[in-house]
Amino acid sequence: MTQITAYVFPGQGAQFPGMAKELYETNAAAKQVLDTANDILGFDILNIMFNGTEEDLRQTRVTQPAVFLHSMAQFVARQNAVLPNMVAGHSLGEFSALAAAGVLSLADALKLVSIRAAAMQKACENTPGTMAAILGLDDATVESVCAKIENEVVVAANYNSIGQVVISGTINGVEAACIALKGAGAKRAIVLSVGGAFHSPLMQPAAEELKLAINAANFSIGICPIYQNVNGLPCTNSVTIKENLIAQLTSPVRWTKIIENMVQDGANHFIECGPGNVLQGLIKKINKEAKVFAAI
């Protein structure tokens, strides 16, 4: 059987103190990637990644570029390994996927990630929100219950795997939805420790800010398709990729659909590049037969 390799990249939440430090110290290609970061970002992110606390890393303006850098350091550390036949990234990870596919240069991708992080942090500070993981309910029930919460914003934000949906919105909206979803049969409803209501209408100001930067950036023809968050479908057209990236901030991450479509299109070898192993676990829940591996 021909090996069809899909590289996948995690999003915000995968960070941890000391991230990428070992890669920096042991792999020349990874070190080269990481050494460019401070000048592009304008602050010493490597010091925060290597020596910062969990609290330091939880700031959105730090978290997003840190996860991106760790992911790309792992990807280039595999430079003698097989190239991707397809790529995808969870939320923020979509920028890592675009860099891995050669659609964006590493420097341009990092600049966009930095702008995205700052815009999202500003939106979070202006309109407080939160997110919660809902376990044990089908997608349609979660959507229906959220739609019935009155006078608040609460929507399905991440379709992570079958029976695992993350909701997002105002603090009161998410709390009310959690109570209603437990009443509808959810096994668990867990409010997450996040900075705001990502992938909800509350991110519209951030999307407007990011739109200007994305439209001004240089997007090239990549070496393979990217399966995008907003619809789970493969794409190689730069105009469409840009539109989907902008829409991503206020739209749900359709991760289940992404993996199902990748498998349907022949993917039989998944490699996760980035901190942690969350995506490997989600992929196995979506498709028990999938072969999943860590990058290093």
The residues carrying an active-site annotation are 91, 199
Q: Characterize the bridge pairing of strands 5-9 and 164-169.
A: unpaired
Q: How far apart are CA 236 and CA 207, in angstroms?
A: 22
Q: Which one, of 295, 232, 287, lies nearest residue 94 by Cα?
A: 232
Alpha-carbon distance of 133 to 142, in angstroms, equals 11
Q: How many other CB atoms are there within 10 angstroms of residue 208's CB atom?
A: 14
Backbone angles phi, psi at 155, to 5 degrees: -140, 160
Burial of 39 (0-12, 13-18, 19+ CB in 10 A): exposed
Tokens 């675009």 sit at which residue?
Answer: 98
